[in-house]
Amino acid sequence: MRTRWIITLVTVAVLGIAGIAVAARGGEGESKKTTGTDLTALMCPMAPSGGSDTTPSKPAKNAFNTAELIGLSLAGAKAKAAQHSCTIVVSLEDGAGKPVPIDVDPRRIYVYTEKGRVTEIEDVGGGV
């Protein structure tokens, strides 16, 4: 009776380890592309959603993903933003904070820069 119990336990353990190994290898060689909208993207410009609240909450028709600005020179980022009626505000330059407007403007992109290049998008729109 005791031997059966040990054999059962060993069998369950071996099957469990084999199952984990197969699951871990299951994604090899497969490249799954996800589709849909990137909900983490900071888009500019923003537009009111059309409801009773007029707060900008959806991308405007000519909006672009501000992540495209990362790595560009400040001048290049300003030119790209201007193509979409947006402006750039540097809020952190080479590790030092800069004064920024505190009003809300759905066409304003707040960025961090290092050595004249955009390193991070902080926000779109602003406001306190």
Contacts 24+ apart (CB under 8 A), 121-124: 121/42, 121/66, 121/67, 121/69, 121/70, 122/91, 122/92, 123/42, 124/42, 124/43, 124/44, 124/45, 124/46, 124/66
114 in a structural domain: yes
What integer is the mean pLDDT of 28-46? 76
pTM of the entire predicted model: 0.68
14 in a structural domain: no
pLDDT in tens, 64-85: 999 999 999 999 999 999 999 9
36 in a structural domain: no
The percent of residues in the chain predicted with pLDDT above 90, rounded, is: 54
48 in a structural domain: yes
Q: How many domains does the chain have?
A: 1
90 in a structural domain: yes
Least confident of 10-14, 48-52, 79-83: 10-14
CATH of the domain at 76: 3.30.10.10
Residue 126: the pLDDT is 83
Residue 77: the pLDDT is 98
Judge whether residue 55 has pLDDT over 60.
yes
Residue 30: the pLDDT is 58
Residue 122: the pLDDT is 95
How does residue 7 score in pLDDT terms, banded at 50, 70 and 90? confident
87 in a structural domain: yes
Compare 35 and 75 and report the one with higher pLDDT: 75
Determine the structural domain holding residue 107 and report its residue range.
43-124
31 in a structural domain: no
117 in a structural domain: yes
